[in-house]
Structure 1
Amino acid sequence: MKKIFVLLSGVIMLCLASGARADMADPDVLIKNTVHEVLDVVRSDKELRSGNQKKMLELVDAKVLPHFNFEHMTKLAVGKSWRTATQEQKKALMSEFRILLVRTYTKAFTSYRDQVVEIKPFKLDPAATDVTVKTAIVKPGSSQQPVLVDYDMEKMPDGWKVYDLTVEGVSLVTSYRGTFADQIQQVGIDGLIKTLTDKNNTAASSAAVAEKADSK
């Protein structure tokens, strides 16, 4: 499961980091056009290539997050318990889930700088508000099989947003839903929030220690 999450994370980072100018592009064009931008950034930035966590987090926050509907993603991941959660709990869940995903993305960032994204043939229905963009992640010169990735995207007032993606048949949202459901059954929604908060705080502390050690 951990391997799948890392794979999912790297794929997201590779395909969806982009500037505001691509926000209103068709979903397949959004992915196709922006992959070159993020790869150029990674390849040309020595600190990113060496794993500078702070800089990676800043890049993710600025370039990746605008293309996600975190409320929809969190709602799907939490499942039926979302309906009984208070507004305060929903806000906390979205915040911690967002942090969790961001920190997961940064770990896989540099692993995908040599990959190429191939967009499968896609025809957008002008009336469509929910689409799936199919892609394949290929490593040039490698005999490895391409990694197949499907992006579930919805049309929002400010552009197309990702609310789930599937890598080799494994849905990101569904994967978290199972984990979250077990947590909620054992310790309730507040317990899940605490678990996510503790996990995020631990990750932040570890990153700070590592960064301090690297600076010496």
Structure 2
Amino acid sequence: MKVLMTLVMSAFLAVSSASAEMIKEENPYTLLKKVADQTFERIGEDRSKISEDPNHLKTIVKDELMPYVDNIYASKKVLGRYFKDTDEQQRQAFYKAFTDYIVATYARAFTQYDESKHEVEFLQHPKVGPDDKVVVVETRVKEAGRPPIRLDFKVRYDSNASVWKAYDLVVEGVSLLNSKQSEIAAVIRSRGIEGTIALLKDKANQPIKLDDKVDVPS
């Protein structure tokens, strides 16, 4: 169950990068469903490429997922109280290192994905009002022989990009963004911000292998 939760987290909790073409959808519920469907379809279509070179999963993550996540907001949340202790150059370096680390982490999570077994169900959603800036998208992850896993995606409207972007995933009541913040804070306390950036870079550069284990910085 832990692997599957991490897998679905990877579909939405990442750090953003540029994409050639965005899905234009004003409704955040419909947007996330389209992104999920498109990503899982891409993995199925590229299965032979992935088998030949598992690092191709990084390309899929960058292409299909990253444009729909609020990277700056998520990165600042992960830095937490250490944000004020860093200068602008350190922050930018952290954003880049954290981006690459997350891409690699999610690529490893997708090595566990089997399109013939896993299904994500999006529950019926309420209407989105003109003043709504933050919404929660409720989903259930289903796998034969196992109870559904409850996943609540927190999504906020990015007025600069004029698009809805995910920034947190709550799994059975537990915020994964908060968990990641705790992990990074522990590393900063022991290694400092420069040491944390170096560690994230090192982990991001490690090659992806099929049946890889999802890693956390330490």
Normalization by structure 2: what TM-score? 0.80
Question: Does the CA contact (< 8 Å) of 2:50 and 2:56 recur in 1?
Answer: no
Shift of 1:103: 0.7
1:146 counterpart SS class: strand
Equivalent in the alignment of 1:10: 7
Taking the aligned partners of 2:25 and 2:44, their CA distance within structure 1 comes to 26
Question: Does the CA contact (< 8 Å) of 2:13 and 2:166 recur in 1?
Answer: no
Of Structure 1 and Structure 2, the greater helix share is in: 1
Matched to 2:7, the amino acid is G
Where structure 1 has 5 or more consecutive residues not aligned to the other structure, the ranges are: 211-216
Higher relative contact order (CA 8 A, sep 6+): 2
Taking the aligned partners of 1:15 and 1:85, their CA distance within structure 2 comes to 27
Equivalent in the alignment of 1:148: 150
Taking the aligned partners of 1:33 and 1:50, their CA distance within structure 2 comes to 25
Equivalent in the alignment of 2:178: 174
Question: Does the CA contact (< 8 Å) of 1:8 and 1:172 recur in 2?
Answer: no
Taking the aligned partners of 1:81 and 1:15, their CA distance within structure 2 comes to 24
Give the share of equivalent positions with the same residue, in percent: 27
Equivalent in the alignment of 1:213: none
Displaced runs of 4 or more, over 4 A: 13-19
The 1:198/1:46 distance shift into structure 2, 3 A limit, reads: closer
Equivalent in the alignment of 1:192: 196
1:177 counterpart SS class: helix
The 1:190/1:127 distance shift into structure 2, 3 A limit, reads: same
Taking the aligned partners of 1:164 and 1:15, their CA distance within structure 2 comes to 8
CA offsets, 1:28-56, max 9 Å, x none?
A: 10122233322322223332552732321
Taking the aligned partners of 2:38 and 2:13, their CA distance within structure 1 comes to 10
Taking the aligned partners of 1:95 and 1:8, their CA distance within structure 2 comes to 25
The 1:197/1:35 distance shift into structure 2, 3 A limit, reads: closer
Taking the aligned partners of 1:70 and 1:16, their CA distance within structure 2 comes to 9
CA offsets, 1:79-130, max 9 Å, x none?
A: 1111221111111111111111111111122414232221122212221111
Taking the aligned partners of 2:114 and 2:129, their CA distance within structure 1 comes to 31
Taking the aligned partners of 2:138 and 2:20, their CA distance within structure 1 comes to 21
Taking the aligned partners of 1:171 and 1:146, their CA distance within structure 2 comes to 18
Taking the aligned partners of 1:51 and 1:69, their CA distance within structure 2 comes to 32
Q: How many residues align?
A: 201
The 1:183/1:12 distance shift into structure 2, 3 A limit, reads: closer
Segment of structure 1 superposing worse, 72-81 or 114-123: 114-123
Equivalent in the alignment of 1:86: 87
Equivalent in the alignment of 1:25: 26
Normalization by structure 1: what TM-score? 0.81
Equivalent in the alignment of 2:71: 70
Structure 1 segment 125-136 matched on structure 2, within 5 A = 125-136=129-140
Taking the aligned partners of 1:113 and 1:97, their CA distance within structure 2 comes to 28
